[in-house]
Amino acid sequence: MVLMETRSGVSEEEEQMLREVSGLGHDITESLNVEMLRENANLNGESFSGKIGKFGSEYAKWYARYYIVPEKLMTAVDHNDLYVHDLDQYAVGSTNCIFIPFDKLLARGFSTGSGSVRTPQSISTAMALVAIIFQCQQNSQYGGVSGSKLDHDLAPYIAKSFAKHFHKGVLYFDENLPLEEHNITLGSLTLCNSHPRSYSFAVQETKIECLQAAESLIHNLNTMSSRAGGQIPFTSINYGTCTSLEGQMIIDSLLSATMNGLGSGETPVFPIQIFKCKRGVNQSPEDPNYDLFLKAVECSTKRLYPNFANLDAPFNLQYYDPTDPNTEFATMGCRTRVLADRHGRNRLSGKGNLSFNTINLVKLGIKHGIVNGRTVPHEVDFQRDLYHFLDIALNGLLHRYKIQARQPAKASDFMMREGVWEGGELLDSDESVEECLKHGSLSIGFIGLAECMKAMYGKHHAESEEVYATALELISSMRRYCDMKSEEHDLNITLMATPAEGLSGKFTKKDREVFGSIPGVTDREYYTNSFHVPVYYNLPAARKISLEAPFHELCNAGAISYIELDGNVRSNQTAFLKIVQYALSQNISYFSINHPIDRCGSCHYEGIIGDTCPICGTKETDVPMYRLRRVTGYLTGDYQTRFNAAKQAEVRDRVKHR
């Protein structure tokens, strides 16, 4: 089929570029390239809105490729040495992700640009506004949006609701109002003793309201298709350390609402939930929030969320101030970490990651390893090439940063005008955002450490202690490079354990075309995520955790580790708890446990389902069975229809850890 006729006066190069765009359009409209349409598991790329979004995305990539991106970087991408994430956002200078200061926005009110919002006077209104803030901010950037301490941020609105319900109780029970209004608090023993009926009534009404508000928040964040391409906002919430009665009620309600599920009882995909674990707060029976930690474990056995953040890992304690929850480590679904800042903002809310590029370690291993018939690998040449591509990746980030930094504040209207990015509210609309963005991070990622080691030495890092030491030193050297360049450029340049979703198959497919199918290296449809032990390698859960733990400290832009469990873990929460506690003891920074959650399309039973539902007897050939799985830290819909082929293959290959 001829997609575009040759035009007179057009050079051969221009003609080729035009044909590329025309070909992309045809692939999208006719759904011919399903892999392209499924690059993002959070997006239905085959829908009308998904296709429209893909049109814009693919043309923006094409424009960036030919007119914006440095030639060396684009050549490295074309040769499969590097990958530029979110290339479609490159030319306009938008940024990746951010931790939103909900406390600030809720306390003073905010404007969406179409209308202003007052300070909420109840927890139900506050949680509704959290969803709106998430939605507004998502349209100012392209990556994830997160709340780093939602329990702390929302606690004041529990207090407001309690006071409101207490005043109602006084009227109902004909009790006198306390002489001092400021004593109307949830934690007041005096109030509890002097007005027992009003106090009890207010507590119960506040609990009911808080649970309804939490359910509303979770339902909203799973149904607001307001992001480009008809996606729901990519949201994360962190909680678990607020020990006030108000904060504890927030945590408890979020967990209860999550376990209750959505309208038909299905597991909510968003928000990604992260329970922050801290000794002295929620890790021992005598700790004030220990019961909430146990409830988080129960919730995770049922819904795969929450994941677990380790505040006690030494590298997460570097800037920790017990009086300031904004200095507590928190993360996002795919692992972003921006706690440290060489410019002084060693806290989370009000900043985020700006962009990142990923290095294909596997190709380097193939070029210089024993798979090419050598008796010994060429380690010196490997290091030379590694630093060559580190330089190209970094120069690309710096080039992109210049584009991002020169944007006027009005380009990211809500984010800067409302001070979501700290300091943005102080800028004039035409003023550049550089002074704000310098507090964010530029990250170099990597993929396929396991296959790289296999290509270099014939074994991956879980098969040999010697190879493991080499792998650890390799990632250490990449971290040292990032630290050195941070000093040189006075920017936050960090190392990321890349959350490879679509990329895991892209790199592999191209390398296999060049190098053929190499056992243990290119013979599968995907490369192993970052530093992880291959999903198909059989080893105990504790061993996998201990092997991956040391890499977390090296990856200061973020990392996640997880294990796979078989069977219905809902019936063995004790074992689940022990695994989480062991991961924390090994200084894993961010951790989750995968287990199968299948859902019958007929009776809505959730659990483990084979070809036939064990409850109603419906066969999969008659009614779809929805199979929920984790991608790279977050959940999505049925993996068989939303995951690309590479990720589907990875799910099929995952062995269970015992």
Least confident of 211-225, 497-511, 516-530: 497-511
The Cα–Cα gap between 324 and 152 comes to: 10
| Model confidence band, residue 626 (pLDDT cutoffs 50, 70, 90) | confident
Give the CA distances from residue 281 to residues 187, 252, 276, 308, 651, in Å, rounded to whole numbers and listed in that order.
18, 15, 10, 14, 35
What pLDDT score was predicted for residue 428? 96
pLDDT of the residue at 7: 39
pLDDT attached to residue 54: 67
DSSP lists the bridge partners of residue 441 as 353, 492
As a whole number, mean pLDDT of residues 616-621 equals 89
For residue 275, what pLDDT is reported?
Answer: 98
Distance CA 443, CA 580 (A): 28
Percentage, residues of the chain above pLDDT 90: 71
Q: How many residues does the chain have?
A: 658
The domain ranges of the chain are 13-68, 97-327, 351-538
pLDDT (tens digit per residue) in 47-74: 656 666 666 777 888 889 989 999 999 9
* Nearest-5° Cα angle at 646, 644 to 651: 95
Which of 88-102, 337-351, 493-507 has the weakest average pLDDT? 493-507
Let me know: does 101 contact 418? Beta carbons within 8 Å. no
* Per-residue pLDDT at 4: 39
pLDDT at 139: 87
Among 144-148, 278-282, 383-387, 614-618, name the one with the lowest average pLDDT: 614-618
Pairing of strands 235-239, 272-277: parallel
pLDDT tens-digit readout, 162-179: 999 999 999 988 888 776
pTM of the model: 0.91
Architecture of domain 97-327: Alpha-Beta Barrel (3.20)
What is the rounded distance in angstroms from the CA atom of residue 400 to the CA atom of residue 83? Answer: 14
327-343 mean pLDDT = 92
Per-residue pLDDT reduced to its tens digit, 266-276: 889 999 999 99
pLDDT band at 43 (very low <50, low <70, confident <90, very high): low
pLDDT for res 32: 57
For 86-134, write each residue's pLDDT tens digit: 999 999 999 999 999 999 999 999 999 888 999 999 999 999 999 999 9
More confident of the two residues 601 and 160: 160
pLDDT in tens, 134-152: 999 998 998 999 999 999 9
Phi, psi of 494, deg, nearest 5? -130, 165
